[in-house]
Each structure stands twice: as C-alpha cells, then as structure tokens.
Amino acid sequence: MTVYKYQLPGTLNSLYLPAGAKPLTARFQDSTFGNGFMLWCLVDTDEPVKETREFVVVATGAEIVYPENTNALEYISSIETPQGLMFHVFEIV
C-alpha cells in the first residue's frame, strides 16, 4: 500500500484510481510538488483493476449541484485556502 496524491482542479473531478483506493484527506498545497486542491489516497500499487471515481469540491455556503441526490455524497475533508476560504470535498458514492 502507498499514499498517492491527486489534484482536484475543478468542482466535479473524475479520478482514475486503483480499485479499492481509500481517500484519506484533502488539503490546499502551494509548492513545487503541486498547486491547488489535492486529495491523498491509500492505494494498492499492485492492483491491476482501475476505476473512475468522482469527487465534488464545494465552497462553504455554495449549493451542492452534483449529484442531485445529496445522500449519494460521502464527506472526505474540509480545506482552508491561504486566503481563509473554506471548501469541502465529497465523494459521489
């Protein structure tokens, strides 16, 4: 098992992950290793099967429009930007 980092560049993000990957946390990163919202996942690098998984990033106070059924969301983490804005990351399950 290995921890990998994935960028979340938009509101709705589709990531191609090894099957069974476990999202750990999300944070804002501003470094030479990547800028913006990042998601860290625990992955099995030997897993040959990959799957597309969707993640939503939403600001505090903003309406969640993906998916229409908000019961299909699983909370991952909250992110504070250097400007003090708060965003929240959910997986569509």
Closest by CA to 22, choosing from 35, 48, 4, 34, is 4
Domain ranges of the chain: 2-92
Average pLDDT of the chain, as a whole number = 92
The type of residue at 2 is: T
Closest by CA to 78, choosing from 92, 58, 61, is 58
- pLDDT over 70 percentage in the chain: 97
CB 43 within 8 A of CB 2: yes
Q: What is the pLDDT of residue 34?
A: 64
pLDDT digits (tens, 9 = 90+) for 9-27: 999 999 999 999 999 999 9
Give strand pairing partners of 34.
31
Q: Is the pLDDT of residue 70 over 80?
A: no
